[in-house]
């Protein structure tokens, strides 16, 4: 599947901002079943300094310094990419979850793709006892890891209400869990917290999901905005598998990966430090169009 | 012999009294006496010297040390003890124990070699973790021992100096068998070097001769090496070295300010630094100046809100990128904290063998990381005999409880802990319970044994690792030698390493032939300029309020009122209200208003509130103020704190205002006579002059109207301290135009507005300019115009409107200075880049 993605973010400030330094993780990464054919990121006003690099986890990272006083900052990302993932393994045939946890813990690699980076609490995914207890229900002794995780994903989808008004980026995980409300980001964090609490390596993915459903199918949650889900490491043979608790889906060709990290904080699409007091308004528009 | 006559006790009797009841704690080794209770030989010289002093003399010596501590304002802060409005409020005086820890030179050799070896080991390990990662790949260290640390900062991977260790500290304890053990590694941003230095200075004050007679190793050479190590990291020969502090609310801010002054580094907060074009700059009054080396005292994770912890307000946006580009050296490298993890300790002997080909000289306490099955089972089997600690510093989330002695927990908690270790063992370590050695503390006229730990420092220098011959000794108040943390109720003490031969004295002063003469002291960061400016303004505001209070009370207690007195009293009260020093209202008598103007912390314009603000601004630039100046704040604050119980009489309140004015005069005297006329002094003085000019204009508008009574004009002369001058010039009583001329326009009267304007003109002319086009900058332009207006003005034409105009122009200059020199405004595009150095 080939997609055209356009993601426009606009910040409006109540007062003139004379200086801003921003970091953007908006350009999609290659690999894990997708290849980026072309991509560009434009920033208005034009930055005085700009550098493009890859972060530790291999995500693309653009840093800009804007020295022109401005009241609006507009960031536009356009990309064309093809997505062709290999079929996910049969959940019942994956390794037992305890074995996967033990293998991850014994890892002898600090390379970016190593599961070792994803078994501990992280900034936005602390260990929350209630979440781990919730997850544990699905993890009976010796159960295949993907089977158990798929059940956890289905339970989150069932027990939680998708509600964009319920939470903000800053809502702590424990609070979203207690309320049983949230958006894709909260669900991904909760799923990750549950898996990590059991010692399983779970990562956070930011990206998109196709906006227009194939004929006869219903529209997926999280379209028209950036999306988020979890990755679970299922052992050295299977590697990482995407699990989308917002839609109760094992990730296939409907998902486009932008960045992978331990949680939202590692992959925040746009982060900045500006000089100048005042409030800001954010507008986001996302189009994901399948072109063949 | 003299001591004997005075005290009436012999040396032997004193010795017996000091040692009376001194018994080592059960199962613990004592530093001072052996198992039989005999004083260890290396303590003898010290004990001899002490016994030569009578109890009175001894207490007098302690007094000297304590006074040194008090006078330098050595303080520390307890976590959570914070008042935002007054950062210096939660500071505690430094609890110094007067008995040093004495360590013989031969024994020290082993400690120093062990600490240097460990510094080298951790340094090599850090280079590998942030570089090739071979130690993990070779299975000497599980990856999870690294990846679990919140101080493993992935963005620093592959960056030059990402984890470079510059200053390392080891917390040591001595076990019952006499061996020293490493309890904890400190590689993030070790504190304590400054406190060690302070302890040394305090005890030198008390026992100067002992340092000579006992051949005690000096500390200055260590600091010289440490500084040389930092200089060597820079590409420039004379690098600008900054000490990056979390700010005055940090528990060891005093130490940071102290070290910055001692080592000659620029004390900066994150907001003082700016990343431009791949380099880090200090924002100074002369534009952006390059920072070459940053000695950080903030955790690495807080150093860059863009690539590290976004919640941090302490760091510099883009710092990680500057590190990656190799344009700034940060000490310790931002990621260095990763090797502090307790999880690591159990692996170090094997890693040392592999990396250094050596056995550890100093063992660490036996540690089992529960992320490995065998170790986990061993810990669970012997849970009751173990200290259980988090394997890593907690990433936040409230789980970090610190070490616990599992055997001391109630059964239910112990079982819960057991279950957590079984489920996620990688988050825990089991450690052998250490029984710390004890050392003497002087209490109730004799010595008592208390458990202690010793922090030893090592600095990376061009000639290898240098270990400070001494350290930071912390003493517990609890008799329990198993105490796992010494945070609560600790005293600290100096550490004396004795040499066999006399020790050459050395200070940080360089040899005269190597130093180039210099008359300008560094660059002034914009934030420091801002704070000095406001310090000047608050002090002057306080002075003006006190003068108003004194004038008001003087009139209330005067038994022979002049005509127009009640009108003057009302006006004085009105002005206090207008300044926010007092409230208006029927219940507010003039005397009540005067009291609140003196004391009330709720009225922002009161003298007490101004002192509080002055002290707050001063606390941020403490390294720039002399000890004497700092002490005056304490005096002022206690003068302006109401005494318990009853309200002072009007006469007493008058005295209080009068005394506080004298203290302020002492501060002015200090700043006039003792501060170098650099940019710092200039901003302090500009602040004072502006505030005084504005205040005097207000006084004049209030008390010198066209129909002003003689009493009202007298009040104006009182407020501007110009009575004597007036009387010496004019034989008649106060009359409008001569008073106005003296108070507003006479450039020879140091309290007049004209005098302030002349000083401002001179000082603003000396401030650095950023423009290269020869045009005047705004502050200069405005002051020149005001000065011309003032010189050409005539008293007969002055009225409320023209005085108000002067006042407004002065306020305009204040804003222009803030816009140009301080941080809150960054100015139009490009204007900051011209100053890049």
ipTM of the modeled complex? 0.94
Q: Looking at beta carbons, which residues of chain A come within 8 Å of B144? A: 104-107, 116, 119-120
> Do both B600 and B645 map to the same domain?
yes
Inform me whether the pLDDT recorded for B365 exceeds 70: yes
Tell which of B404, B432, B460 closes a domain. Answer: B432
The answer to whether residues B670 and B529 belong to one domain is yes
Least confident range of A125-139, B85-99, B285-299, B650-664 = B85-99
- Is A68 part of the contact surface with chain B (CB cutoff 8 Å)? yes
A116 to B426: CB separation less than 8 angstroms, yes or no: no
Tell me whether residues A119 and B395 touch, CB distance under 8 A: no
At residue B390, the 3 state secondary structure works out as strand
Last residue of a domain, one of B632, B652, B675: B675
Asked if residue B98 has pLDDT above 50, the reply is yes
The least confident of A166-175, B199-208, B337-346, B751-760 is A166-175
CA distance B371 to B346: 12
Average pLDDT over all residues of chain A:
91
Q: Is the pLDDT of residue B429 over 90?
A: yes
Q: Is the dihedral of CA B785, B791, B796, B800 positive or negative?
A: positive
Q: B488 falls in which pLDDT band (50, 70, 90)?
A: low
- Tell whether B590 and B686 lie within a shared domain: no
Q: How many contiguous H segments (helices) and E segments (strands) does chain B have?
A: 28, 22
Same domain, B774 and B684: yes
pLDDT for A279 equals 74
For domain A91-264, which architecture applies? Roll (3.10)
Q: What is the mean pLDDT of residues B536-554?
A: 95
CB B821 within 8 A of CB B773: no
Answer whether A265 touches B (CB < 8 Å).
yes
Tell me which chain A residues have a C-beta less than 8 angstroms from the C-beta of B399. 126-127
Does any domain span residue B757?
yes
**Which pLDDT value is given to residue B398?**
36
Residues whose CB is less than 8 angstroms from the CB of residue A183 and which lie 6 or more positions away in sequence, other chains included: A162, A163, A164, A166, A167, A222, A246
- Region B240-253 average pLDDT: 88
Interchain pair A19, B826: CB under 8 A: yes
| Nearest-CA distance A276 → chain B (Å) | 8
Average pLDDT of the residues in A98-119: 96
Query: What CA–CA distance (Å, rounded) separates A134 from B774?
Result: 71
| Res. B447 pLDDT band, cuts 50 70 90 | very high
Q: What is the mean pLDDT of residues B646-671?
A: 91
Q: Do B136 and A109 touch (CB under 8 A)?
A: yes
Task: Grade residue B584 by pLDDT with cuts at 50, 70 and 90.
Answer: confident
Domain shared by B668 and B687, yes or no:
no
Cite the residue boundaries of each domain of chain A with CATH code 3.10.620.30: 91-264
Cβ atoms within 10 Å, residue B546: 27
B637, part of any domain: yes
Least confident of B82-86, B363-367, B589-593: B82-86
- Is the bond preceding B773 in cis, omega lying within 30 degrees of 0? no
- Longest Cα–Cα distance in chain B: 100
Q: Which residues pair with A182 in a beta bridge?
A: A162
- Rounded to an integer, the average pLDDT of B770-796 is 90
Q: What is the 3-state secondary structure (H, E, C) of B661-726?
A: HHHHHHHHHHHHHHCCCCHHHHHHHHHHHHHHHHHHHHHHHHHCCCCCCHHHHHHHHHHCCCHHHH
Q: Where in chain A is the domain with CATH 2.60.40.2250?
A: 2-83+268-290
Q: Are residues B535 and B667 in the same domain?
A: yes
User: Any chain B CB within 8 A of the CB of A52?
Assistant: no
Residues 6+ apart with CB under 8 A from B619: B87, B88, B248, B253
pLDDT (mean) for B7-34 = 87
- How close A137 comes to chain B (CA, Å)? 15
The average pLDDT across B131-157 equals: 95
Assigned token pair, A171? 């809502």
Q: Are B121 and B351 spatial neighbours (Cβ–Cβ below 8 Å)?
A: yes
* Cβ-defined contact of A108 to B143 (cutoff 8 Å): yes
Give the lowest-confidence range in A234-238, B47-51, B357-361, B584-588: B584-588
The answer to whether residues B747 and B762 touch, using CB atoms and an 8 Å cutoff, is: no
Q: How far is B140 from chain A (nearest CA, A)?
A: 9
pLDDT at B487 over 80: no
Which structure tokens are listed for B214? 């006992």
- The arithmetic mean of pLDDT across residues B524-547, rounded, is 93
Flag whether pLDDT at B393 surpasses 50.
yes
Q: What is the pLDDT of residue B75?
A: 67
Q: Measured between CB atoms, does B144 come within 8 Å of chain A?
A: yes
CATH of the domain at B390: 3.30.1490.270
**Nearest-by-CA chain B residue for A172:** B397
HEC sequence for B215-249: CECCCHHHHHHHHHHHHHCCCCCCCCEEEECCCCC
Q: Using CB atoms within 10 A of its CB, is residue B764 exposed (0-12), middle (13-18) or buried (19+)?
A: buried
Query: H helices within B586-678, ranges in order?
Result: 590-599, 607-620, 627-639, 650-674
Instruction: Assess contact for B402 and B352: CB atoms under 8 A.
Output: no
Kindly state whether residues B646 and B735 are assigned to the same domain. Answer: no
pLDDT of B102: 96
Q: Hey, is the C-beta of A39 within 8 angstroms of any chain B C-beta?
A: no
pLDDT of residue B750: 94
- pLDDT for B825 beyond 50: no
The pLDDT mean for chain B works out to 87
- State which H helix or E strand residue B2 sits in: helix B2-7
Q: Say if CB B450 and CB B438 are below 8 A apart.
A: yes
DSSP-derived secondary structure for B295-322 = EE-S-GGGS-TTTS-TT-SSS-TTHHHH
- Is position B770 within any domain? yes
pLDDT of B282 reads 93
B462: number of Cβ within 10 Å: 10
DSSP letter for B742, please.
I
Report the share of chain B in percent with pLDDT over 90: 60
Identify which of B143, B305, B307 has the shortest CB distance to residue A107.
B143
Interchain contact A56–B (C-beta under 8 A) = yes
Q: Do B137 and A121 lie within an 8 Å CB cutoff?
A: no
Give yes or no for B315 touching A (CB within 8 A).
no
Helix (H, G, I), strand (E, B) or coil at A60: strand
Quote the tokens at residue B661.
């004015």
Q: Kindly report which listed range (B305-314, B669-678, B803-812) carries the lowest average pLDDT score.
A: B669-678
- The pLDDT of residue B225 is above 70: yes
Kindly state whether residues B652 and B687 are assigned to the same domain. Answer: no
Residue A65 with chain B: CB contacts under 8 Å: 276, 318
Q: Does A106 touch chain B (CB under 8 A)?
A: yes
Interface check for B148 against chain A (CB to CB < 8 A): the answer is: yes
State residue B832's pLDDT score: 24
Angle at B821 between CA B816 and CA B822, to 5 degrees: 100
Domain identity same for B617 and B649: yes
pLDDT of residue A221: 63
Query: d(Cα B600, Cα B593) in Å, to the nearest integer?
Result: 10
Peptide bond into B487 cis (omega under 30): no
Q: How many domains does chain B have?
A: 3
Two structure tokens written together for B188: 């993030």
pLDDT confidence band for B158 (50 / 70 / 90): very high
Q: Does A123 touch chain B (CB under 8 A)?
A: yes
Which residues of chain A lie closer than 8 angstroms to B142, CB-CB?
Answer: 105-108
Q: Locate the chain A residue with the closest alpha carbon to B143.
A: A108
Q: What is the share, in percent, of chain B residues with pLDDT greater than 70?
A: 90
CB-based contact, B829 to chain A, within 8 Å? yes
DSSP codes, B478-537: SS-TT-S---TTEEEE-EEEE-SSPPPP--SPPPGGG-----S----BHHHHHHHHHHHH
B420 touches chain A (CB under 8 A): no
CA distance B765 to B744: 22
User: Average of pLDDT values for B574-578?
Assistant: 92
How confident is the model over A224-235, as a mean pLDDT?
92
Q: With beta carbons under 8 A apart, name residues in chain B contacting A121.
A: 395, 397
Cα–Cα separations (whole angstroms), residue B153 to B149, B158, B163, B298, B308: 9, 11, 9, 14, 8
- Final residue before a domain boundary, out of B377, B410, B432: B432
Does B376 have pLDDT greater than 70?
A: yes
* Distant-in-sequence, close-in-space partners of B303: CB < 8 Å, separation ≥ 6: B244, B296, B312, B314, B315, B316, B319, B320, B330, B334
Q: Does B626 fall in a domain?
A: yes
Q: Are residues B569 and B543 in the same domain?
A: yes
**pLDDT for position B91:** 64
Q: How distant is the alpha carbon of residue B553 from its chain centre?
A: 39
- Domain check: are B681 and B808 in the same one? yes
Q: Which of the two residues, B828 and B682, has the higher pLDDT score?
A: B682
Q: For residue B144, give the nearest of A49, A68, A105 by CB distance.
A: A105
Q: Do the Cβ atoms of B361 and B114 come closer than 8 Å?
A: yes
What burial letters (b/e) apply to B817-833, b meaning 16+ CB within 10 Å?
A: bbebbbbeebeeeeebe
Tens-place pLDDT, residues B594-639: 999 999 888 889 999 999 999 888 888 887 888 788 888 888 988 9
Contact B837, B287 (CB under 8 A): yes
d(Cα B173, Cα B182) in Å, to the nearest integer?
7
What is the spatial distance between Cα B428 and Cα B417, in angstroms, rounded to a whole number? 10
* Tokens, residue B61: 């010596």
CB-CB: which of A18, A23, A120 is closest to B147?
A: A120
Q: How far apart are CA A7 and CA B776, in angstroms?
A: 47
**Residue of A124, A269, A273 to mutate, testing the B interface (most B Cβ within 10 Å of its Cβ):** A273
Whole-number pLDDT of residue A266: 95
pLDDT at A177: 95
Does B179 lie at the interface with A, CB-CB under 8 angstroms?
Answer: no
Same structural domain, B596 and B690: no
The CA distance from B56 to B624, in Å, is: 37
Q: Is residue B684 part of a domain?
A: yes
Nearest residue on chain B to A23, alpha-carbon basis: B306
d(CA B18, CA B445): 7
In the predicted model, is pLDDT for residue B773 greater than 60?
yes
A57 touches chain B (CB under 8 A): yes
Q: Quick check: B534 and B818 in contact, CB under 8 A?
A: no
The pLDDT value given to residue B67: 85
Please tell me the distance from the alpha carbon of residue B147 to that of residue B338, in angstroms, as a whole number: 9
d(CA B170, CA B457): 7
Under DSSP, is residue B794 helix (H, G, I), strand (E, B) or coil? coil
Range of the domain at B609: 525-675
The rounded radius of gyration (Å) of the Cα atoms in chain B is 31
Task: Indicate whether B588 belongs to any domain.
Answer: yes
Q: Which CATH number fits domain A2-83+268-290: 3.30.300.30, 3.90.1170.50, 2.60.120.330, 2.60.40.2250?
A: 2.60.40.2250
pLDDT computed for residue A271 by the predictor: 87
Q: Are B261 and B522 in contact, with CB atoms under 8 Å apart? A: no
The answer to whether position B466 is within a domain reads no
- The nearest alpha carbon in chain A to B146 belongs to A110
Angle at B732 between CA B730 and CA B733, to 5 degrees: 105
pLDDT at B71 over 90: no
Among B321, B426, B825, whose Cβ lies nearest the Cβ of A63?
A: B321
CB A119 to CB B828 under 8 A?
A: no
Q: What tens digit of pLDDT does each residue of A246-290 get?
A: 999 999 999 999 999 999 999 999 888 877 666 778 888 888 888
- B136 Cβ under 8 Å from any chain A Cβ: yes
Q: Which residue of A has its CA nearest to B424?
A: A199
Collect all residues of chain B within an 8 Å Cβ-Cβ radius of residue A268.
Answer: 310
């Amino acid at each position: 599947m080939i997609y055209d993605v356009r993601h426009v973010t606009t910040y409006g400030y109540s007062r003139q901002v004379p200086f801003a330094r921003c970091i953007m993780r908006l350009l999609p990464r290659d690999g894990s079943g997708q290849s980026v054919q072309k991509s560009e990121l434009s920033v208005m006003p034009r930055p005085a300094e700009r550098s493009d690099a890859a972060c530790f986890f291999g995500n693309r990272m653009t840093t800009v310094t804007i020295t022109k006083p401005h009241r609006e900052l507009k960031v536009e990302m356009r990309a064309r990419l093809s997505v062709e993932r290999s079929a996910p393994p049969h959940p019942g045939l994956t390794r037992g979850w305890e074995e996967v946890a033990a293998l991850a813990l014994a890892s002898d690699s600090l390379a970016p793709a190593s599961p070792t980076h994803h078994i501990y609490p992280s900034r936005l995914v602390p260990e929350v006892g209630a979440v781990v207890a919730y997850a544990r229900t699905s993890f009976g002794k010796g159960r295949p890891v993907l089977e158990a995780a798929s059940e956890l994903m289905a339970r989150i989808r069932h027990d939680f209400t998708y509600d964009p008004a319920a939470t903000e980026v800053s809502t702590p995980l424990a609070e979203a869990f207690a309320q049983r409300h949230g958006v894709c980001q909260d669900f991904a964090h909760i799923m990750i917290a549950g898996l990590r609490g059991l010692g399983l390596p779970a990562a956070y993915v930011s990206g998109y999901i196709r906006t227009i459903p194939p004929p006869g199918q219903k529209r997926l949650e999280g379209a028209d905005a950036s999306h988020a889900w979890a990755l679970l490491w299922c052992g050295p043979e299977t590697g990482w598998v995407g699990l989308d608790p917002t839609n109760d889906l094992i990730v296939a060709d409907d998902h486009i990966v932008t960045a992978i990290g331990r949680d939202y904080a590692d992959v925040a699409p746009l982060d900045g430090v500006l000089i100048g007091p005042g409030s800001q308004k954010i507008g986001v528009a996302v189009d994901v169009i399948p072109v063949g | 012999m003299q001591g004997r006559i005075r005290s009436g006790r012999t040396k032997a009797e004193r010795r017996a009294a000091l040692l009376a009841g001194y018994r080592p704690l059960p199962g613990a080794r004592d530093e001072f006496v052996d198992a039989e209770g005999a004083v260890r030989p290396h303590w003898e010289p010290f004990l001899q010297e002490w016994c030569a002093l009578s109890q009175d003399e001894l207490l007098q010596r302690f007094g000297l040390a304590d006074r040194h501590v008090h006078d330098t304002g050595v303080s520390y802060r307890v976590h959570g003890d914070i008042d935002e409005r007054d950062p210096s409020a939660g500071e505690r005086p430094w609890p110094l124990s007067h008995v040093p820890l004495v360590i013989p030179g031969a024994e020290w050799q082993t400690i120093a070699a062990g600490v240097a070896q460990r510094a080298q080991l951790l340094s090599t390990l850090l280079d590998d973790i942030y570089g090739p990662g071979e130690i993990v790949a070779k299975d000497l260290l599980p990856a999870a021992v690294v990846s679990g640390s919140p101080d493993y900062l992935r963005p620093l991977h592959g960056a030059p100096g990402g984890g470079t260790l510059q200053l390392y500290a080891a917390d040591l304890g001595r076990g019952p068998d006499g061996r020293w053990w490493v309890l904890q590694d400190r590689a993030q941003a070790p504190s304590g070097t400054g406190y060690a230095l302070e302890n040394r200075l305090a005890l030198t004050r008390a026992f100067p001769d002992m340092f000579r007679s006992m051949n005690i190793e000096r500390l200055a050479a260590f600091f010289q090496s440490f500084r040389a190590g930092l200089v060597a990291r820079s590409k420039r020969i004379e690098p600008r070295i900054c000490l990056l502090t979390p700010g005055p609310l940090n528990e060891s801010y005093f130490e940071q300010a102290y070290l910055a002054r001692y080592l000659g580094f620029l004390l900066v907060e994150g907001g003082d630094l700016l990343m431009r074009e791949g380099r880090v700059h200090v924002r100074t009054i002369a534009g952006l100046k390059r920072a070459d080396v940053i000695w950080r005292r903030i955790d690495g994770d807080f150093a860059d809100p863009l690539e590290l912890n976004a919640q941090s307000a302490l760091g510099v946006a883009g710092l990680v990128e500057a590190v990656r580009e190799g344009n700034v050296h940060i000490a310790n490298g931002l990621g260095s904290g990763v090797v502090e993890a307790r999880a690591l300790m159990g692996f170090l002997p094997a890693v040392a063998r592999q990396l250094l080909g050596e056995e550890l000289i100093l063992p660490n306490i036996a540690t089992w990381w529960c992320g490995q099955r065998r170790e986990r089972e061993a810990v669970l089997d012997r849970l009751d005999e173990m200290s259980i600690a988090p394997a890593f510093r907690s990433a936040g989330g409230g789980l970090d409880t610190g070490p616990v002695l599992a055997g001391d927990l109630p059964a239910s908690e112990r079982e819960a802990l057991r279950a957590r270790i079984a489920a996620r063992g990688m988050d825990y370590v089991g450690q052998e319970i250490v029984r710390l050695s004890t050392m003497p503390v002087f209490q109730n006229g004799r010595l008592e044994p208390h458990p202690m730990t010793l922090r030893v420092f090592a600095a990376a220098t061009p000639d290898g690792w240098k270990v400070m011959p001494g350290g930071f000794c912390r003493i517990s108040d609890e008799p329990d030698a198993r105490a796992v943390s010494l945070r609560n109720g600790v005293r600290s003490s100096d550490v004396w390493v004795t040499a066999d031969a006399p020790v050459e004295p050395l200070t940080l002063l360089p040899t005269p032939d190597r130093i180039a003469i210099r008359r300008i002291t560094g660059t002034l960061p914009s934030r420091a300029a801002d704070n000095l400016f406001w310090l000047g303004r608050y002090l002057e505001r306080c002075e003006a309020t006190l003068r108003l209070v004194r004038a008001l009370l003087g009139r209330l207690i005067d038994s022979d009122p002049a005509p127009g007195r009640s009108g003057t009293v009302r006006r004085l009260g009105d002005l206090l209200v207008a300044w926010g020093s007092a409230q208006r209202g029927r219940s507010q008598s003039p005397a009540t208003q005067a009291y609140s103007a003196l004391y009330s912390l709720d009225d922002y314009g009161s003298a007490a509130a101004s002192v509080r603000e002055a002290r707050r601004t001063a606390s941020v630039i403490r390294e720039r103020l002399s000890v004497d100046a700092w002490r005056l704040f304490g005096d002022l604050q206690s003068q302006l704190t109401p005494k318990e119980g009853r309200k002072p009489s009007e006469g007493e309140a008058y005295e209080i205002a009068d005394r506080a004015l004298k203290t302020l005069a002492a501060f002015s005297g200090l700043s006039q006579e003792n501060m170098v006329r650099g940019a710092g002094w200039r901003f302090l003085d500009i602040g004072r002059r502006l505030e005084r000019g504005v205040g005097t204009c207000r006084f004049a508008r209030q008390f010198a109207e066209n129909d002003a009574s003689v009493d009202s004009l007298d009040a104006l002369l009182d407020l501007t301290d110009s009575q004597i001058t007036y009387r010496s010039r004019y034989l008649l009583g106060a009359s409008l135009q001569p008073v106005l001329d003296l108070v507003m326009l006479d450039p020879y009267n140091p309290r007049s507005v004209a005098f302030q304007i002349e000083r401002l003109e001179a000082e603003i002319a000396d401030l650095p300019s950023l423009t290269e086009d020869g045009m005047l900058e705004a502050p200069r332009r405005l002051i020149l115009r005001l000065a011309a207006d003032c010189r050409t003005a005539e008293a007969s034409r002055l009225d409320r409107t023209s005085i108000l105009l002067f006042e407004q122009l002065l306020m305009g200059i204040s804003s222009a200075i803030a816009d140009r020199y301080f941080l809150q405004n960054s100015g139009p595009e490009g204007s900051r880049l011209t100053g890049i150095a």
